[in-house]
Amino acid sequence: MGCIISETYNYRKTSIYFLFLVVYASVLFFAGLGHRPLLGPDELRVAGIAAEMEMSGDPVVPRLNSEPFLEKPPLYFWALSAIFNLFGENSYTARIPSALAAVCGVALVFIFVRSTGSSPLSALIAGFVLATSAEYFSLGRRCLIDMMLCLFTTSAMLCFFHATRFLPRRSPWYAGFVLSMSCAVMTKGLVGLAIPSSALFIWLLVKKNFSCRVWYLLLIGSALSFIPAAIWIGFLYNDLGWNAVHEIAWSNNFGRFTGSYRHHVQPFWYYLEKFPSQFFPWTIFLPTAFMQYFREIREPKKESFFLFPVAWFAVPFLLLSISAGKRGLYLLPLYPAAAILVGAAVGAGLEGRKAPTQWLSIPSQILAAVTILVPLAFVGVCIYSKRSFWVWPLVSLPGSCLGLWAYRRVTRKDLTGFFKALLAVLLILYLTFDIGITTPFDQEKSYEPLFQYCQRLESEGMQVVLFKPSERIRGAAVFYLRKTIPVFKEEENLRNFLHSGKRVVAISEKKSLEELENSDVMKHFRIDDETYVLVKNNFSDRR
């Protein structure tokens, strides 16, 4: 009877923690999601491609202002174009797929940790660590493909882990593994296969699991994951021919790895520099996690699940470091593994089971001090940017009070109370930073005012064209104007068009106008350290 009561209590506790974590993550990723404009080349490009796909109704060929864009498979664009079709196009709806994927990723981490036999508290902390790691939070609130990739690689790892266990029903886990891998490949190509399969391959070897059934699942499942991508590539070949297939299959997969595709080439140690800041503030708890791992492996009679997240993190990290093309966001699929390691170790420490107290209390004290200093830094930013005086307490007092509460808990060695306070502190600090601190600076980087002005010109009967546009301008034009815009890449073609007698205006970067003398500039826009000009049809031949 006591066992039944205990199981019922644990089930209720797990359900409450899970529901709380999902609500917490939903607030963290969805609150004020559209407050910032779409920024940089990546968000504008992705939003523009999805907007054009929604307008054209062509699901096969992703296009950026009418030109095929074959760097990525179309799954994310399908999802985003469906969102646009349902809810319209704005900065909030553009980020819904990423935010939703981020919340689901946090939920999957909770489910994984709890399913290994760890306590509900350890599962809650693992999900909390993932949600509040700096890069995961940032990318979960941006219109980018990588968060969806992270969700599917996490799902693939979870499904394979359970498929290899002695469970009475394995078929759903098999199907989940293949489906997750297929979606990962359809989101970002071969990297969606390489990250989970490389980690699982090494995990099975180190674990000395040579079961034919398990290896059959890994190899056949990986092969089956190519079927949706192969079908899409078949349709792509039918529309655009062999060159398009070569670009998507070779140049944007193997070319990035070998360096023949000369984008984002970085040295081998690049991620060693990037990861500590991107996993902040939980980087300082990694020694606690590894101490817990080493304690676990010294108990040979007990099977430890720690090897799984270690392989999940270390093997793809090495693989990505070997790859020539590198960006900080490429590490995103590894953050769930790091969060699992930290969450399980911190949970064990809070429950007084295994983690040494000093390995947990010291980083907790450091983090408590940081939570007090960050709101003061917010005030400094407000003073520097000459914000109104009444804004200062709004951005500093909530975080400062909660930070002091957290610091008081940790100085009294109440680490459980400290982490409860930390839940509130980081929620307030992250949203304050993203909505209240960065937004005024981000408005200076927004392309929306430029295209609002263009909409006004179009309402007056003028036609807008682009001259030598970057990817961000092409994406922004489609997203904000809700249509494709004619592009001119040669000076002579633009001259001829402007002299055709039509009422036209061309958008150009100022540096591109050095090729055009005596241009009639209507208006200047300074956006993200770049000057864009609108020119009318009044050119003279260059002498």
Residue 405's CB is within 10 A of a number of other CB atoms, namely 18
DSSP type of residue 60: S
Residue 483's CB is within 10 A of a number of other CB atoms, namely 13
Q: Which residue has the tokens 């997750």?
A: 180
Q: Which residue has the tokens 């090494």?
A: 202
Q: How far apart are CA 471 and CA 20, in angstroms?
A: 41
CATH code that applies to domain 448-536: 3.40.190
**Residue 200 contacts residue 222 (beta carbons within 8 Å):** no
Structure tokens at 306: 């720690």
Structure tokens at 229: 């991508």
Structure tokens at 402: 């909660």
Q: Looking at the whole model, is its pTM more than 0.85?
A: yes
Question: Would the pLDDT of 347 be above 90?
Answer: no
Q: Average pLDDT over the chain, rounded to whole?
A: 85
Strand partners, 509: 532
Tell me which residue of 71, 183, 146, 470 sits closest to 328, measured CA to CA: 146
For the chain, domain boundaries: 2-31+95-350, 362-443, 448-536
Span of 10-19, 104-113, 415-424, 495-504 with lowest mean pLDDT: 495-504
How high is the pLDDT of residue 542? 40
How high is the pLDDT of residue 498? 74
Q: Which residues contact 176 (CB under 8 A, 6 or more apart)?
A: 155, 158, 159
Cis, peptide link before residue 281, omega less than 30° from 0: yes
Range from 300-304, 309-313, 390-394 that averages highest in pLDDT:
309-313
How high is the pLDDT of residue 117? 84
**Residue 531 contacts residue 509 (beta carbons within 8 Å):** yes
How high is the pLDDT of residue 83? 97
Span of 63-77, 305-319, 507-521 with lowest mean pLDDT: 507-521
Which one has a higher pLDDT value, 259 or 28? 28
pLDDT classification of 302: cutoffs 50, 70, 90: low
pLDDT in tens, 386-412: 665 555 565 566 667 777 777 777 777
Mean pLDDT of 226-243: 93
Phi, then psi, of 146 in degrees rounded to 5: -65, -30
